[in-house]
Every structure is written in C-alpha cells, then in structure tokens.
Structure 1
Amino acid sequence: MKWLEMSTENCPVQRTLDVVGEKWTLLILRDAFNGVRRFDDLRRHVGLSDAVLADRLRKLVAAGILKTVPYQERGSRTRHEYRLTRRGRDLWPVLVALRQWGETYVADPEGPVLDISHGACGSPVRVVVECSGEHTELTPAEVTVRPGPAARRRPGSKDGEPDVHA
C-alpha cells in the first residue's frame, strides 16, 4: 500500500495533535515542565483568559497528561495545582525538540531563553532520532517507512500513487 492510499484517521501524529496540538496547550506544558503548577501563575505567565486556561487544563487532565493535586494556603480554601503525569512527562522530548528547532530557525538574536544542560557533565541537551540497534543519529533519507499493521486503505484511493517515504 502506498502513502496516498492510506487513511490517516488513525495516524498517531494526528491523534497526538488532537490532544496537544493547540498553541496554548503546548505553552501550558512548557510552563509545567518548568515547574509552574498553579492556575493563577499559569494565567499570568502564559497570558490566557481564565476560561481558555480552564478549558485547556480540563482537557489535559482528561487526557491523563496532567493531574490535579489539592493544596491549601493558610487561611484560604483548598485549591488544586496541576502536575505532569508520566504520560505528560513523556512529552518532554517533544517540547525539547520544538525548542531546539526554534533555537536553530527563529531564535532571539541575544541567545537562548533557557540553557538546557546535562546536570552531571554540563553538556547541552539535544533531541536526536537514532537507530535502536546501532545508536547512530539518522536523517530522514536513511530510514525506511512501511505501512504497519494498523494501516488502512483510504476510501477511493487509486493504485500507482507514490510509495511511503519519510
């Protein structure tokens, strides 16, 4: 089966974007990875209205990316802060890759906003695609992409369309 013959209804990229592909959602996740947990702090830092922030947080909690944890400051009612779940923490390489691309192509001329480095050796952190067998960094031209077991034919597709390529 060729790429243009394949349905994209069950594409994992599309499904992921359905959950986290909105700008404000990614900015909330950026802040969550940087330790921002409380609604008011997120609202101030990301610059969202209460309604939009509440909606995005509700969706992230429903998707299992954030969880709510109760806290209470002295003399105040119980409130909730938002913490990343394992599912949420597994998005960290995605955010680092977006940051890495941004630092390469749309960076501030003054330099990076954040330096991310390995705590043990101090070297910069970067995201790479590598072969799990040889552990070598790969380019799109070096990989083979084939339809997997969940691939479905797109209704109305025709033979003779280009093969699947990365």
Structure 2
Amino acid sequence: MKDCTLYKTMDIIGKRWTLCILLELYKGNEKKQFNELKNMLETITPKTLSTRLRELQEHGLVKKEVESSQTPVRCNYSLTECGREFIQVIDEIKNWGLRWKFDNQECSMSDCRFCGIEDVLYTK
C-alpha cells in the first residue's frame, strides 16, 4: 500500500489538526504567525502545531517565510498554490457531510463562521 496514491494522500492530510491548520491559514490574512495559529486552534499543543506545519511544508501545502530583519525573528506561514487548491477538497468534504450526514443550519450558509469557506470562491 505504500505506493498507493490514496494511501500517500491520506498519510499527509489524515493526521489530527491538519485540516484545521489549513483552514486557519485560508481564513482572513494571507500570512499568519505561529502564535496566531496557536491562539486560533486553542487546544493544539505547540509541539503538534510545529510538527504539522513542518509536515505541510515538506509536502508543499504550506510555505514558511522568515523575517530576520526584526528582533525577535518572525516566521509567517501561508498556503501555497497546492494548499489553496486543497481548500476545494475540504469544501467538498463539508458539502458531503451536509448532504448525507449532518443537519447543520449554520454550516449550510455560504460563509460558515467556523470554517470560513465561501461557496462563491469556487465558481469556474
């Protein structure tokens, strides 16, 4: 199974907190600092956040920019093109859940305050 595309993909995105981190990077500002992400994901540990961000960088979904011109040094995280495209997959997962599993009035709105995904984003 190690060569299976689906297996490899699930190994990247199936880890706890991964989808939440991607969604937080998608919302609002284009770039977010580590502490901003930590505050938005209240119960994630710093170690887990650091590990997931590093993994997402390695797989090309997140990019890290280091601002060394300031003290202390600041690291900004943002979605790559690959990461922004993956938001569409998360939106499809949400739509599947709304259609088949979960009656959630708030999430059926076009701009759910929790995930921040807007339906108009994906018009082709």
TM-score interval for Structure 1 and Structure 2 normalised by the shorter chain: 0.7 to 0.9
One of 59, 62, 82 as aligned partner of 2:55 = 59
The match for 2:14 among 21, 45, 60 is 21
Determine helix, strand or coil for the equivalent of 1:111.
Answer: coil
Residue aligning to 1:50: 46
- CA–CA distance in structure 1, aligned partners of residues 5 and 28 of structure 2: 28
Task: Give 2:95's aligned residue.
Answer: 100
> How far did residue 46 of structure 1 move?
1.6
Assess, with a 3 A threshold, how the Cα gap between structure 1 residues 67 and 100 changes in structure 2: closer, same or farther: same
Unmatched 5+ stretches in structure 2:
none
Correspondence for 1:91: 86
Alignment partner of 1:116 is 2:118: yes
State how far apart, in whole Å, the 2-side matches of 1:116 and 1:78 are.
34
Q: Bigger CA drift: 32-41 or 52-61? A: 32-41
Taking structure 2 as the reference length, the TM-score comes to 0.74
Q: TM-score w.r.t. structure 1 length?
A: 0.58
**Structure 1: gaps spanning 5 or more residues:** 1-7, 120-124, 127-166
Which is bigger in relative contact order (C-alpha 8 A, separation at least 6)? 1
Residues 120-152 of structure 1 show CA distances to partners (whole Å, capped at 9, x for unaligned) of xxxxx58xxxxxxxxxxxxxxxxxxxxxxxxxx
Would you say how many aligned residue pairs link Structure 1 and Structure 2? 112
What RMSD in Å do the two structures reach over aligned CA positions?
2.5
1:140-155 to structure 2, matched below 5 A, reads none
Question: Shift in Å at residue 106 of structure 1?
Answer: 2.3
SS in 2 for 1:90: helix
Structure 2 match to 1:137: none
* Structure with the higher helix share, 1 or 2: 2
What is aligned with 1:80?
75
Normalized per residue, which structure has more strand? 2
Measure, in 1, the Cα distance between the counterparts of 2:92 and 2:18: 16
Q: Which amino acid aligns with 1:91?
A: F
Task: Decide which moves more: 28-37 or 13-22.
Answer: 28-37
Runs (4+) of structure 1 exceeding 3 A deviation are none
